Amino acid sequence: MNQQNSSETTEWWRGATLYHIYVRSFQDANADGHGDIQGIIDRLEYLEWLGVDALWLSPTMPSPNRDWGYDVADYENVQSDLGDLATLDRLITQAGERGMKVMLDLVANHTSSEHPWFLDARSSRDSEHRSYYVWADGKEDGSLPNNWVDDTGEVAWTLDEQTGQYYFHNFLDAQPDLNWWDERVHAEFARIMDFWYRRGVAGFRIDVANGLYKDRLLRDNPVDPRAVIYNTEVQGRYGIEHKYNFNQPETHQVYRDWRAAAEQFDPPRLLLGETWVARVDELTPYYGDGDELQLGFNFPLIFAPFEPQALARIVRESFASFPAGSATVWAGSNHDLPRMSTRWAQNDEGRLRLAHTVLATLPGTYALYYGDELGMVDSDIPSDLQQDPLTAGGLNGQWPRDNARAPMRWNETDDGAFTAGTPWLPIHPDAAVNVERQRSDPRSVLHLVRDLIALHSEHLGAGAEYVEVEVTDERWIYRSGELLVVANFADAPLEAPRERGELLLASRASENGGQVLPWSAAVYRAAE
């Protein structure tokens, strides 16, 4: 492990590698078919061997699972089919003994419709928790409060028959949005976060970090046919720009308050935002003046095509616009998107190796989604076996997120050593893509990623800077701290710069006489 990332280091996330565990799909310890916290404990040896610095767990708090934990019903406990508080405490302790921290998912934009706050809120217009949520009357002509749509492309307002008002939900109707204009909501989350910090949680990945506040006047969002998220620079989808239900300026004071509270601990707790925006200029404000989020996921890079000009532009803009000393999270996959092996690499191992090498050699934090270190590609889960209520059935053309959530394969057996029961989602069909086989093969994708993590840890801590050397339609050459990275996006070999220094790593085979192989990258210790 990198000494810069030890528990004694204040900003341990600089140069760190985060490992995103979708808990239900990682390891089942009790044969119920669902991965659980004990299963993670049972696999800590693997994670330590891989070299990661921190584990980010998908939601572990009690939930009716309409959105698999992203509909929270209790913020201060653990979902019973994943474990309990004592098991989570053991994970934090045992991971810490192996040099790894544990981060939780915090859902602060909305709750479950079964949360006690909402049950009280909908009981009466005068209830104690009514203003914890976003309520509105319909218009005089009987139409909806405004034109906002939710994440499925359907109307974002649901009429509560008992009280005669609509409540707002950016996601499912089972996920009512909180009203952050009520100061009591601020106090609730300050208490919730402190509860987990004092249990040893190293920080939070903040779900829908660009959400929270909604426009106080509930104005209509602009209609824009380009608002489709992918292949666009407009923040929105389904032809509606998210102007008034996301990215409100008042949200930034929440993060300033949370940052001040996080820095009361030693070491400070980490605030990592799911900053789901399509442009760098929309991401930059979430760092504030270095007093808001310490890290944000760089979705503009994830949304970019796997082409050197497009990727380099995002990296260049990011480092030019972030506050001095701020860092970002470079990732290629997560639980909401097609996996990088499919989306970027087109199921080609060489391209995947190139993608991992680029992500791991940029200054900042490197994030892995479970199974990406093996080259897992998207599954094709039949519609009758899909479990995700938000995307199952492809409502309004949605891509089924379950395809990126297949259980981890630990070996080639039918159950992949994931469970002794019936898996909650079908085991990934490619039996050859498993930990046991790749761990025993030093030429595997797994070993490349392990080497990249070590390289990242050694060379890309605090102070490492990005310097663009050359970008064309086929190549991307840059200095990253003391590293020189030559990335070849072409079908032909590329001659590396003459003054290239010592070869430290090649994504495919060994460099041959200064040539970088097609669709590969070579990493050098930059010559002085």
Task: Convert the pLDDT of each residue in 326-380 to its tens digit.
Answer: 889 999 999 999 999 999 999 999 999 999 999 999 999 999 999 999 999 999 9
pLDDT of residue 325: 79
User: Rounded to whole angstroms, how far apart are CA atoms 77 and 518?
Assistant: 50
Domain co-membership, 293 together with 372:
yes
- Any catalytic annotation for residue 250? no
pLDDT at 227: 86
If asked whether residues 493 and 365 sit together in one domain, one would say no
CATH number for the domain that contains residue 184: 3.20.20.80
Report yes or no on 269 lying in a domain: yes
pLDDT band at 512 (very low <50, low <70, confident <90, very high): low
Same domain, 380 and 491: no
Same domain, 357 and 483: no
Q: In this predicted structure, what is the pLDDT of residue 9?
A: 63
pLDDT of 229 over the 80 cut: no
Query: What is the pLDDT averaged over residues 266-272?
Result: 96
Beta bridge pairs of residue 479 = 467, 484
Tell me if 137 is assigned to some domain: no
Q: Is residue 195 part of a domain?
A: yes
- Average of per-residue pLDDT across 115-128: 98
pLDDT at position 8 = 40
375 & 486 share domain: no
Lowest mean pLDDT among 5-19, 145-159, 444-458: 5-19
- Centroid of chain to Cα 235: 18
Query: Are 475 and 353 contained in the same domain?
Result: no
Mean pLDDT of the residues in the chain: 94
Select from 459, 489, 506 the last residue of a domain.
Answer: 459
Q: Are residues 418 and 357 in the same domain?
A: yes
Q: Which of 79, 76, 31, 43 is nearest to 58 (CA)?
A: 79
Give a yes or no: residue 146 inside a domain.
Answer: no
3-state helix, strand, coil in the chain (%, to 5): 25, 15, 55
Same domain, 424 and 505: no
List, in order, residues 6 or more apart from 16 with CB less than 8 Å away. 2, 5, 53, 54, 365, 366, 457
Pick the catalytic residue from 177, 207, 378, 451.
207
Confirm if 179 and 185 have CB atoms less than 8 A apart.
yes
The answer to whether the beta carbons of residues 134 and 168 sit under 8 Å apart is: yes
Return the pLDDT at 236: 85
pLDDT at 7: 38
Residue pointed to by tokens 């979708």:
22
Q: Tell me, yes or no, whether 403 and 474 share the same domain.
A: no
pLDDT at 527 over 90: no
pLDDT at residue 386 is higher than 80: yes
Quick one: average pLDDT of 240-249? 96
User: 485 and 445 in one domain?
Assistant: no
Q: Specify the CATH number for the domain of residue 511.
A: 2.60.40.1180
CB-based contact 476:308 (threshold 8 Å) = yes
The kind and range of the H/E element at 37 are helix 37-42
Which listed residue (28, 53, 151, 274) is catalytic? 274
Q: By percentage, how much of the chain surpasses pLDDT 90?
A: 88
Question: Has residue 174 been placed in a domain?
Answer: no
pLDDT for position 174:
98
Q: Which of 459, 486, 511 is the last residue of a domain?
A: 459
Residue 2 has pLDDT above 70, yes or no: no
Domain boundaries, position 450? 3-109+179-213+248-459
Answer yes or no: 274 catalytic.
Answer: yes
130 found inside a domain: no
Residue 83 near residue 61, CB atoms below 8 Å: no
d(CA 356, CA 368) in angstroms, rounded, equals: 9
Q: Kindly state the tokens that stand for 362.
A: 């940029």
pLDDT band at residue 392 under the 50/70/90 scheme? confident
User: Can you give the pLDDT at residue 194?
Assistant: 98
Report yes or no on 243 lying in a domain.
no
Residue pLDDT, tens place only, 138-195: 999 999 999 999 999 999 999 999 999 999 999 999 999 999 999 999 999 999 999 9
Based on the fold, state whether residues 25 and 88 are members of the same structural domain. Answer: yes
pLDDT over 70 at 453, yes or no: yes
Residue 275 pLDDT greater than 50, yes or no: yes
Average of pLDDT values for 284-298?
A: 96
Counts for the chain of helices (H) and strands (E), in that order: 13, 20
Domains identified in the chain, total number: 2
Report the largest interatomic distance among the alpha carbons of the chain, rounded to a whole angstrom. Answer: 77
Q: For residue 154, count CB atoms less than 10 angstroms from its CB and return exposed for 0-12, middle for 13-18, buried for 19 or more.
A: middle
Domain boundary among 429, 459, 489: 459
Q: Output 355 or 498, whichever has higher pLDDT.
A: 355
Which parts of 4-148 are beta strand (E)? 17-21, 54-57, 101-107, 135-136
Domain membership flag for residue 512: yes
pTM for the model: 0.96
Are 366 and 472 within one domain? no
